[in-house]
Structure 1
Amino acid sequence: RIVEATGVVPAVNQIELHPGFQQREARSYHEAHKIVTQSWSPLGQGKDLLTRAPIVRVADKHRRSPAQVVIAWHLAHGLAVIPKASDLEHLSDNFAARDLILDEEDMAAIDALDSPVGRLGPDPRSFGG
C-alpha cells in the first residue's frame, strides 16, 4: 500500500516471519521490488516453535540449539533476522548461528512447518478496527 499511495518503495519491511508463518507471498513481492525482508518474531515468540520435531532433529544433527537452527534458516533464506536476546549467553548463541549451514534436507523439513494460521501477533491489515 505504501508504494501505491506514495510511489516510494521502502528499503525494509519488517513483518512477522518464522518457520511457522513464512509469508512467502510478501517475501516474493519484497524480492521483486528489492525490499529487504526483516523478520519480526523470528523465533516464534519463544512459543512451541523451538520444540517442534523437525527443528529439534536438525538441531541434534548439527549439535546446535533449536534457536540457532531457526536463525540459520532465516539467514539461508536471505532474511534480515533480529532475534531477541535476554542475556549475553543468548546473544552469543544467536550470533553463533551465522556459522551454521543447513543442507537442502534441513531446509525442506523446516520449510514444511509453514501454516496459514501460524500468525502469533496481530494482523496488520486489521489495525485500527
Structure 2
Amino acid sequence: MEKSVPEITLNDGVTLPVIGLGTYKLKGNQGVKAIQHAIDHAGYRLLDSAYNYENEGTLGEAVRSSSVSRDELRITSKLPGRYHSYDLAVMTIEESLYRANLDYYDLYLIHWPNPIQNQYIEAWQALIDAKKKGLIRSIGVCNFLPEHIESLVQETGVKPSINQIELHPFFNQASQREWHEQNQIYTQSWSPLARANDILQNSVIQQIANDDNKTVSQVILRWHYQIGAISIPKSASPDRQLENISIFDFSLTQEEMSSISQLTKPDGRINKQDPAVYEEF
C-alpha cells in the first residue's frame, strides 16, 4: 500500500484526499477515540461532519487530541435546511466553528437544497461571504441537482467546488457524475457502502473481491476511486478504518468496473430521499 492517500485539487485550488472518514453517529468520548485513531493510526486526513450530526465538538476534540497538525487535515461540516436564510446561515457557520473550537473549516457544504423552502441561494451567499472572511477555505453543496447548481451560479457567479451525493454501486449516479465533470465540480460519495448488508453480500462484488484477494468493502471503495469520486466511509472500528483506506495497492479491471457499475438500480436510493422534493431541517 502507498504510504499516503492520493489527493485531488478542487476548482478553487484546495486539495483533498480521495478518501476520508465519515463521522455520522460518532459522538462523545468514544467518538473522539474513534476519530483520533483514524487520524493517528489509519492515516485519514479528510474528516466529514455536519451541524445536524451534533458531533462537531467531538470532531474538534479528536483533532486537538491527535498527533497530526491542523493544517494537514481537511475538515468538513454542513449547513442544515432550517438555517438557509442569510442571517441564520451566517450565525450557524459561526456556531459550527465554536462547537468544534476551530478557526476555519476546510470545506463547508449546504446539506440539502430544500427546493420547496427555496432559500438555498441565500444560504449559498452566506457561504460565499464566510469564505471571504476566512472562516471557510472551500464551499460546496450536498444533494444538489444540476438545476439547483445552475441557479447558484446564475445568481452569484460562484460555482461549488464539490457536490456530495448519495453514490454506491446500487445507485451509481452516472449522469450526475458526468455533469459534474463537465462543470469542473468534484463528486463526493455519501454512504459509499450503501449502509446495508445486502451490498456486502452481493455475489458479483464478492467474486471480484475473491479474485483480487480483497474485501468487498475494499473493492467498492476502489470502484469509487476509479470513477473519480471521493468516498467518506464511516467506521468506529480500528480494523475496518484501516481496511477501508487500504485500497491503493490494487486496481480493478475495466471489466470489473463495468460489472459493478451495472448493479445500479433506478430506485437505488437507500431512503428514497429525492433532492427534487426532499426537505431537510
Q: What TM-score do the two structures reach when normalised by structure 1?
A: 0.93
The answer as to 2:159 corresponding to 1:12 is no
The verdict on how the C-alpha distance between 1:105 and 1:2 changes in structure 2, with shifts beyond 3 A counting, is: closer
**1:4-48 per-position Cα deviation (integer Å, ceiling 9, x unaligned):** 243321000000000100111110110001001000100011331
Give 1:117's match in structure 2, choosing from 255, 267, 273: 267
Contact 1:73 1:102 in 2 (8 A): yes
- 1:23 corresponds in structure 2 to 173
Matched position secondary structure for 1:125 = coil
- 1:99 corresponds in structure 2 to 249
Percent identity over the alignment? Answer: 37
Structure that is richer in helix per residue: 1
Q: What TM-score do the two structures reach when normalised by structure 2?
A: 0.44
CA distance in 2, matches of 1:128, 1:61: 42
**1:75-109 per-position Cα deviation (integer Å, ceiling 9, x unaligned):** 01111011111211011000112322001121111
Amino acid at match of 2:279: G
CA distance in 2, matches of 1:12, 1:71: 18
Give 1:85's match in structure 2, choosing from 231, 235, 256: 235
RCO comparison, higher one (Cα < 8 Å, 6+):
1
Amino acid at match of 2:277: S
Answer with 82-91 or 62-71: which moved more.
82-91
Structure that is richer in strand per residue: 2
- 1:70 corresponds in structure 2 to 220
CA distance in 2, matches of 1:49, 1:78: 20
Matched position secondary structure for 1:44 = coil
RMSD: 1.4
Which 4+ stretches in 1 moved above 3 angstroms?
none
Question: For structure 1, which runs of at least 5 residues remain unmatched after alignment?
Answer: none
CA distance in 1, matches of 2:197, 2:268: 11
Contact 1:2 1:8 in 2 (8 A): no
Give 1:3's match in structure 2, choosing from 150, 153, 156: 150
Answer with 112-121 or 4-13: which moved more.
4-13
- 2:29 corresponds in structure 1 to none
Matched position secondary structure for 1:102 = coil
CA distance in 2, matches of 1:85, 1:32: 32
CA distance in 2, matches of 1:111, 1:47: 18
Matched position secondary structure for 1:92 = helix
Contact 1:72 1:102 in 2 (8 A): yes
The answer as to 2:199 corresponding to 1:49 is yes
CA drift at 1:110: 0.5
